[in-house]
Structures are given as C-alpha cells and as structure tokens.
Amino acid sequence: MKQLLQLKVNGEEYEVFAEPWKTLVEVLREELGITAAKESCNTGNCGACTVLLDGKAVKGCLVLASQARGHDVMTLEGLSNGDGLHPIQQAFIDHFAVQCGFCTSGMILSAKALLDENKDPTEDDVRKAIAGNLCRCTGYKKIVEAILVAAEAMKQEA
C-alpha cells in the first residue's frame, strides 16, 4: 500500500506516494526523476547510490525513503546551484577522475562529506572516505588525486 511521504531533496520539498519498503534511491529515481544516484549492487557494497543525509554520506539502497523524512537529502544535482561547478566537480574534470561515470555521483558526494568535515585531509583520509565506493574504471588513483586537489582549492576559497 502506497503512503504519502514528505521529502526534502536539494532544498526543495516533495510529496510522493510510495510503498513503505521503497528505498531512498528507488524513490529518488523512480518517483522524483532525480537520477544522478545510481543503483548497482543493492547490497550496500558499491556506493553508486551514495547521497548526503544532513551532510553525511549514506548509501541510498540501505536507507528507506521514509527514514529520510525530516532530513535534508542532497544528490549530485544539488551540488552546484547556479553557474559554477563545485571545486570537487572541477577537480574531477581536470584530473580525469571520470571514465564511465556510473560511480561518479557517489564518489563526489563521499568526497564532499569528507571535505566538509576535514579541510586538510591526508591521502589516507581520502582513501577511507571513498573505501565504500567501488570504481571499476579508474583504479582510484586519479579520483584520490582529484579529491586532494579539490581540498586545496576549497581551502583557498575559504
């Protein structure tokens, strides 16, 4: 039986009807058409569905949509409002951290959760932050490098 659900995603309020067992990533993708978060493993192993819940990186396949009620959900679509790119997005472009792109949304949001907490991360900090995000294309090297560059850029902006 579908239930009415209020969600706040990327600063906007939504009301949707969804079955109570639907996960957050399912409701984002299927009901709201917000598709940057991807479904891949559905067991919490790959991180392609990572979104931010009150700024913390969570796996959208392990959170029921109803558990997001009353919290701020952020997806990749909400990262750069307006014209400019977020420094993490810019660094991912400049440092070739993107190949097929299927993990990119989750990687960028895991990086954002890290860099919002830790302005001066070491390579080990970055590795721990994205350890729950699988990438089969890049071998991670250029992703790690991009996040470290973005950290530097964010420090200079601040």
Which positions lie near another protein, rule CB under 8 A? 29-30, 33, 35-36, 38-46, 48, 75-77, 79-80, 85, 89, 92-94, 96, 98-105, 108, 123, 127, 130-145
CA dihedral sign, ordered 82, 84, 86, 89: positive
Note the helical H segments in 5-140.
Answer: 24-26, 87-94, 104-117, 123-129
80, 71, 62: which is closest to 25 by C-alpha? 62
Torsion of CA 13, 16, 20, 25, to 10 degrees: -70
Closest approach, Cβ 69 to another protein, in A, equals 22
Closest approach, Cβ 67 to another protein, in A, equals 20
Closest approach, Cβ 142 to another protein, in A, equals 6
Looking at the Cβ atoms of 66 and 105, the one nearer to another protein is 105
Looking at the Cβ atoms of 66 and 89, the one nearer to another protein is 89
